[in-house]
Chains A and B, each alone.
Chain A
Amino acid sequence: MNLHEYQGKSILESYGVAIQRGVVVDNIEDAVAKAKELNSETGTEWFVVKAQIHAGGRGKGIVTETGSNGVVLAKGLDKVEDTVKGILGGHLVTAQTNDKGKMVNKVLLAEDVYYPGESEPSEFYMSVLLDREKECNVIMYSTEGGMDIETVAEETPHLIHKEEVDPRLGLQGFQMRRIAFNLGLSGQAFKQMTKFVNALYNAYVGCDASMFEINPVLKTSDNKIIAVDSKVTLDGNSLFRHKDYAEMRDKTEEDPIEVEAGEAGLNYVNLDGNVGCMVNGAGLAMATMDIIKLSGGNPANFLDVGGTADAERVEKAFNMILRDPNVKAILVNIFGGIVRCDRVAQGIVDAYKNMGNIPVPIIVRLQGTNAEEAKKLIDESGLDVYSAVQLQEAADLVKKLIN
């Protein structure tokens, strides 16, 4: 589950990570008042206005309606209103969104942290994530902050460091010190960085995150170390023990049909092809998408009906696939293991009856547990469906029906 910058920062702060302070607003009326409050709390004269969407590249992104960037510095209280107007309520297109962009429902007004002082401010990159190969958490960091880390990885891989964390012992003091030394810090900034890394790792572990990315981590001109941005992904499997974080989910950031699918216990990913598919099991679902492509079609979706698919869920799945006007045919591919084919067949029959008329041809391939009962159910229902037993037969039918 992805979080907004402001939500990630609130988690970080609760674990003692120093952050760039700010206030989040969802309307222009509040913006100026909140900016004043921020001014009295932090003394900041300037305000960074940041669009809160689930996509990177906001600074260089463009708001379609106004031409504003997604992150803009308002140099004074009198500039806040106009700056917020340029971003809030618009659609922000970045390198990571599609052409339509993402609607900005909230903006974060943040304190200016690049103020002049005894030393030059400097930016670093830091993230905590799982290393699948090493099977442990790793802290990835670089002196090249504020840049796209993938570019750094390609162009100057030697500038990216990794610190592997022992699963049982956790992050050790020498590791925090090594990170701070490798970032070229000394004195007060060095001390602050070791504290920062420790708190960041505790936050990552404490909320069962999949990823924490702080880019940039800033050393201010007065040698504080703070998180200026936050990109946080939480492990969806862990949310049962983090009810407060689960509530942070912003469904407006997700495809509505995928949200609906999730609530019905289905795993659905919207794609832009012309052949819908309904499959049990993620691997077979991907393989079915591949076979649609090899048959000359394009998959309209990924849909795993899961291990306990009953008539109700299957019908829901059918309804969802048919909402896509591009769908020219539907391929149902069920290999029964946990899921029993007769239950799926019942779902298809019920969906057909409830929906009255299904406007596209359906190819049903049921194989495995109770496959014979399932076939009987379909055959006796009098439905107009093409049946297949072998996968290749199903593929041939797809080819025939879409041409």
Chain B
Amino acid sequence: MAYCFVKTNQKHKFGALYKTNQNMSILVNKDSKIIVQGFTGGEGTFHAGQMIDYGTNVVGGVTPGKGGTEHLGKPVFNTVEEAVKATGADVSILFVPPAFAADAIMEAANAGIGVIIAITEGIPVSDMVKAKDYIKQFDCRLVGPNCPGVITADEAKVGIMPGFVFKKGKVGVVSKSGTLTYEAADQIVKAGLGITTAIGIGGDPIIGTTTKEAVELLMNDPETEGIVMIGEIGGNLEAKAARWVKEHGTKPVVGFIAGETAPKGRTMGHAGAIVGGHEDTAEAKKAIMRECGIHVVDSPADIGSKMAEALGVTA
């Protein structure tokens, strides 16, 4: 599963390019052909515009019933299938309202999209359980939902992050949170390191790409020299990633877990951010991460400087 995107690349997507360019970024890059689901809505319009301004290769969008029209200078299609046929799209980003978002994820997978990035917040959990199960039969990777998306610096911004923060460099970021990702990226850039790819995996209980899978992608990316892993209370994704790093890690990993001060039993904004048992706490997660050799910071203000230290760079 973790290699599925790379596999997809080799098979159909970037074919010759992949072979000639070994320094390929992960998930999205300048050659990605991106469509926007929920293209003509308010959020879709605003963020697709921002993505295009960043230089992202947006090839069109999907809004059922508006096929055949044009929006932001790009063609609009009724279905993802039509969009893929007409444009060769391999990446999709979703700004579809929560009630229809799981359906849109399944449509993208069914149409052969390789990387599906779901921004939508508030999708019913039962819908996501079904959608995640459904897309397993396709050769695709889901990122999110309830996430800020993915950005490969200077190449493609497929998300809602402020692009100017993510200056090109050598550190990959994996995070459950949106704004905390921007914070970390800003610090990393100011420490003189810069970003390769930042992946917002999302804060919902059911998400497509796990912390471990995202860390693994970055670990295998030749351009990435260090990895920042940002988690929060609830679930065991960070612990699983930490154990994987202990076994397979070849690059320094800096970690932060938000929610040290969160009370037990309360949902802190993200649907998945809730302390149930002992292992859900920030303290427990950080302990496991430390045991696994991850450079854990207690203060979110120290992420950039810790990464510089771990890479032996003086800021």
The residue in chain B whose Cβ has the minimal distance to the Cβ of A368 is: B162
B305 vs chain A, min Cβ distance (A): 9
> Which residues from 111 to 149 on chain A have a C-beta closer than 8 Å to any C-beta of chain B?
130, 132-133, 135-137
Question: DSSP majority for the A interface?
Answer: mixed
Stretch in A26-34, A183-191, A235-243, A345-353 with 4+ CB within 8 Å of B: A235-243
Residue A267 lies at the interface, judged by CB distance under 8 Å to chain B? yes
B265 closest partner in A (C-beta): A96
Note all chain A residues with C-beta closer than 8 A to B83: none
B115-135 interface code vs A (CB 8 A; 1 in, 0 out): 000000111111001101110
Contacts of A338 in B (CB 8 A): 43, 47, 160, 178
Number of interface residues of B (CB under 8 A): 58
**Contact (A287, B300) CB under 8 Å given A335-B183, A337-B178:** yes
0 or 1 for each of B261-303: is its CB under 8 Å from A? (1 = yes): 1110010111111000000001000000000000000111100
Q: Measured between alpha carbons, how far is A293 from B160 in the docked complex, in Å?
A: 30
Indicate the member of B122, B298, B301 with the most A CB atoms within 10 Å: B301
Task: Assess the A137–B205 pair: CB atoms within 8 A.
Answer: no
A-side contacts of B186, CB under 8 Å = 335, 367
Contacts of A288 in B (CB 8 A): 300
Alpha-carbon separation in the docked complex, A208 to B43 (Å): 27
Query: A336, B162: Cβ atoms under 8 Å?
Result: yes
- Asked if residues B125 and A271 are in contact (CB atoms below 8 Å), the reply is no
The CA of A287 and the CA of B181, in the complex, are separated in Å by 11
Q: How many residues of A contact B (CB 8 A)?
A: 52
Select B261's contact among A290, A337, A395, beta carbons within 8 Å.
A290
A261–B186 alpha-carbon span in the complex (Å): 30
Q: Shortest CB–CB separation between residue A94 and chain B, in angstroms? A: 14
Q: Which of A205, A240, A267, A286 contacts B258 (CB 8 A)?
A: A286
In contact, A294 and B162 (Cβ under 8 angstroms): no
Tell whether, in the assembled complex, residue B205 and residue A391 are in contact, meaning their CB atoms are under 8 Å apart: no
Please tell me if the beta carbons of A337 and B300 are within 8 angstroms of each other in the complex. no
Q: Is B172 an interface residue (CB 8 A)?
A: no
B179 contact from A281, A294, A298, Cβ within 8 A: A281
B175 within 8 A of A: yes
* Chain B residues closer than 8 Å to A257, beta-carbon distance: none
B301 x A390 contact (CB < 8 A)? yes
- In the complex, are the beta carbons of B203 and A282 less than 8 A apart? yes
Closest A-chain residue to B273, C-beta based?
A: A282
* Residues on the B chain within 8 Å of A289, using CB: 259-262
B124 near A238: Cβ-Cβ < 8 Å = yes
Q: How far is the CA of A299 from the CA of B259 in the complex (A)?
A: 11
Interface pick from B13-21, B62-70, B231-239 = B231-239
Residue numbers in A under 8 Å from B181 (CB-CB): 283
A369-B236 contact in complex given A210-B125, A289-B262, C-beta closer than 8 Å: no
Q: Is the CB of A283 within 8 A of B179?
A: yes
Given known A336-B162, A368-B165, contact A283–B262 (CB-CB < 8 A): no
Report A-chain residues with C-beta under 8 Å of the C-beta of B165: 368
| Cα distance, A205 to B309, chains bound together (Å) | 50
Minimal beta-carbon separation of B169 from chain A (angstroms)? 18
Q: Are B123 and A237 in contact, CB atoms less than 8 angstroms apart? A: yes
Q: Is A201 an interface residue (CB 8 A)?
A: no
22 inter-chain pairs at a CB distance below 8 angstroms, sorted by A residue, are: A130-B125, A132-B205, A132-B236, A133-B235, A167-B129, A237-B124, A279-B179, A281-B269, A283-B178, A283-B230, A284-B183, A285-B268, A287-B258, A289-B260, A289-B262, A290-B282, A302-B266, A335-B179, A338-B160, A367-B186, A368-B162, A368-B165
CB-based closest 10 A-B pairs = A283-B177, A282-B269, A281-B179, A283-B180, A286-B258, A284-B179, A287-B300, A238-B124, A167-B133, A392-B301
Given contacts A238-B126, A269-B266, A286-B259, 10 further A-B contacts (CB under 8 A): A132-B272, A208-B124, A208-B125, A279-B179, A281-B179, A283-B176, A283-B178, A298-B261, A338-B47, A368-B162
